[in-house]
Amino acid sequence: MSIQIWTWILVGITFTLYIGIAIWSRAGSTKEFYVAGGGVSPLANGLATAADWMSAASFISMAGLISFNGYDGSVYLMGWTGGYVLLALLLAPYLRKFGKFTVPDFIGDRYYSNVARSVAVFCALLVSFTYVAGQMRGVGLVFSRFLEVDINTGVIIGMIIVLFYAVLGGMKGITYTQVAQYCVLIFAFMVPAIFISIQMTGNPIPQLGFGGADENGVYLLDKLDGLHKELGFAAYTSGSKTTLDVFLITAALMFGTAGLPHVIVRFFTVKKVSDARKSAGWALLLIAILYTTAPAISLFSRTNLIETVSNKEYKKLPEWFGNWEKTGLIKFDDKNNDGRVQYLADASKNELIVDKDIMVLANPEIAGLPNWVIALVAAGALAAALSTAAGLLLVISASVSHDLIKKMINPNITEKGELIAARLSAVVAVCVAGYFGINPPDFVAATVALAFGLAAASFFPAIILGIFSKRMNKEGAILGMLIGILLMLFYMMKFKFDWFGGGTKEDWWFGISSEGFGTVAMIVNFFVAIVVSRFTPEPPEEVREIVESIRIPSGAGDATH
């Protein structure tokens, strides 16, 4: 059977599964809609968190990014896993004990102020919208490459599926579809990785094949370092970013992970505090399976790519090369007209441009794996994109219906009315996300990576101080969040979008990239919050009692309004 028929079959089966789950797990109350009723088991929540977390970027782009950046790609591996240690130790148990529906709920109550709540809603919407647009685009890309439908039709199909289970099932529907999506995406990621690891090193475990040797007994990492040297690239195992920048980017991704609202709310769905800790453990274990495999795929596919195309006759290249050339993700320009592919670091002589996303999407074809494996990758990429999109859409709809309408505009709204408002805002959010997926503004790609900087610069300090400092008051927290996020936005706009006079790499403050600047903005947030709180009134007694109570795990009741 052809790749396309296999893809239709696998995508069809998985989509039917998701819709079936959505119908089975409809939400009947706001509690079910926002936190799945609060009775999700730790393992199910770990599975759902892992799928929620691993987006189109983790599945499709990360291995390719590492492939092209070698050691520098480590920032994503450490950053996007290390954040879970912070989540498990510093946030999840206490926020679960607090027992509300959303992150702005915590900020608003802990800092006894609707101004604080509004700032939190603004940050949550900013972070989630930038992130969700990228997911819808990912859905469209997979459809267009594997099923040869128009990219916009792909986005619309994705929208309809997400709409179906996010609007119908809320958090409850999302949770159980995410459990299924994790299984699909991890299977789809691991099968080709295992095949290729056996092909290249004889070891079926990619994590071990990563340190393995080829048939001549040469370690693959050493071999690739050698190939890179021949072609003029920097050695694969050493980077080209400065140590300071690597340090700060890793930190920004870690603290950002721990401050992302769509990840935090997942911990509101379990029964008790010890379950919140447990599900963080499960989540990281399940995420680590993909994250320790990805750098092995990067190594295998980079070596494979160079060996297959470098200095080979263009006419004799395998079929996949032509397939991907059609999509524009591979470009070949025979500059010296010798009919061979020169792949070199020197831009004036280099004849080959390869998009990073190919490394996962085309990997099975490059390695000559059977058609069903190639189709499986498409189903896995869709699962990764859809599960993250759904989680983000829920945060957006809860911010509007719960934090804005119920908590600020109309506190007397009935339970039924709030549920309708939640569903309506989910519909609007899906449409906005779809619009950005079809007409991606240039800044989407740049801001997805920066969403972490924004989360680190705003939420992380406010939540940590809210738990670990009884003295922290509303003045400190609000000013800290505002200055943190505005500073981050300013730096990002200046150096990514060329606003405020713009600037090049030489103008970066202390040589820090926008990706790493989130850490600086976070430190500024902490500093401002602590200093301001010392010169302004202490928080009221009942707030100190809230803090004392969230530190003790027992008696975590159900999540309430």
Strand-pair partners of 219: 213
Q: Which of 95, 284, 393, 492 binds other proteins (CB under 8 A)?
A: 284
Residue 364 CB, shortest distance to other proteins, in Å, is: 22
Q: Which of 20, 230, 232, 238 binds other proteins (CB under 8 A)?
A: 238
221 counts as binding other proteins under rule CB under 8 A: yes
CA–CA separation, 275 and 41 (whole Å): 7
Residue 181 CA to chain centroid, in angstroms?
15
Q: What is the 3-state secondary structure (H, E, C) of 475-524?
A: HHHHHHHHHHHHHHHHHHHHHHCCCCCCCCHHHCHHHCCHHHHHHHHHHH
Q: Which of 4, 29, 41, 74 binds other proteins (CB under 8 A)?
A: 74
Residue 32 CB, shortest distance to other proteins, in Å, is: 25
CA–CA separation, 254 and 452 (whole Å): 8
- Please identify, using beta-carbon distances, which residue of 335 and 544 lies nearer to other proteins: 544
Residue 203 CB, shortest distance to other proteins, in Å, is: 10
Q: Is the dihedral angle over the CA atoms 330, 335, 340, 341 positive or is it negative?
A: negative
19 counts as binding other proteins under rule CB under 8 A: no
How is 56-114 classified by DSSP, letter by letter? HIIIIIHHHHHHHHGGGGHHHHHHHHHHHHHIIIIIHHHHHHHT-SSHHHHHHHHTT-H
126 counts as binding other proteins under rule CB under 8 A: no
- Please identify, using beta-carbon distances, which residue of 281 and 441 lies nearer to other proteins: 281
88 counts as binding other proteins under rule CB under 8 A: yes
553 counts as binding other proteins under rule CB under 8 A: yes
Q: Which of 220, 354, 393, 444 binds other proteins (CB under 8 A)?
A: 220
Binding window for other proteins (CB under 8 A); candidates: 190-198, 245-253, 399-407, 509-517:
245-253
288 counts as binding other proteins under rule CB under 8 A: yes
HSE, CB side, 13 Å, CA atoms: give it for residue 532. 20
518 counts as binding other proteins under rule CB under 8 A: no
99 counts as binding other proteins under rule CB under 8 A: no
251 counts as binding other proteins under rule CB under 8 A: yes
Q: Which of 336, 337, 504, 554 binds other proteins (CB under 8 A)?
A: 554
CA–CA separation, 261 and 278 (whole Å): 19
39 counts as binding other proteins under rule CB under 8 A: no
71 counts as binding other proteins under rule CB under 8 A: yes
77 counts as binding other proteins under rule CB under 8 A: yes
Q: Which of 1, 5, 285, 353 binds other proteins (CB under 8 A)?
A: 285
Q: How many residues touch other proteins (CB under 8 A)?
A: 49
Residue 86 CB, shortest distance to other proteins, in Å, is: 8
CB 51 within 8 A of CB 165: no
Site for other proteins in 378-437 (CB under 8 A): none
237 counts as binding other proteins under rule CB under 8 A: yes
227 counts as binding other proteins under rule CB under 8 A: no
Binding window for other proteins (CB under 8 A); candidates: 29-37, 246-254, 419-427, 445-453:
246-254
Give the residue from 385, 392, 386, 388 showing the smallest Cα distance to 429: 392
Q: Which of 5, 13, 160, 552 binds other proteins (CB under 8 A)?
A: 552
Q: What is the 3-state secondary structure (H, E, C) of 64-77?
A: HHHHHHHHHHHHHH
Q: How far apart are the first and last CA of the chain?
A: 54
205 counts as binding other proteins under rule CB under 8 A: no
Whole-number Cα distances in Å, 176 to 48, 181, 257: 7, 9, 22
Q: Which of 28, 281, 368, 441 binds other proteins (CB under 8 A)?
A: 281
- φ, ψ dihedrals at 204, nearest 5°: -75, -15
102 counts as binding other proteins under rule CB under 8 A: no
Give the residue from 544, 460, 409, 560 showing the smallest Cα distance to 111: 544
546 counts as binding other proteins under rule CB under 8 A: no
Q: Which of 277, 356, 402, 496 binds other proteins (CB under 8 A)?
A: 277
CA–CA separation, 133 and 448 (whole Å): 9
Q: Which of 8, 112, 122, 219 binds other proteins (CB under 8 A)?
A: 219
Q: Which of 66, 185, 444, 477 binds other proteins (CB under 8 A)?
A: 66
HSE, CB side, 13 Å, CA atoms: give it for residue 424. 10
Give the residue from 366, 313, 354 showing the smallest Cα distance to 199: 366
CA–CA separation, 313 and 296 (whole Å): 28
CA–CA separation, 437 and 273 (whole Å): 38
For other proteins, the binding residues (CB under 8 A) are 66, 71, 73-74, 77-78, 81-82, 84-86, 88-90, 93, 207, 210-213, 219-222, 237-238, 243, 246-247, 250-251, 254, 274, 277-278, 280-281, 284-285, 288, 291-292, 295, 548, 551-555
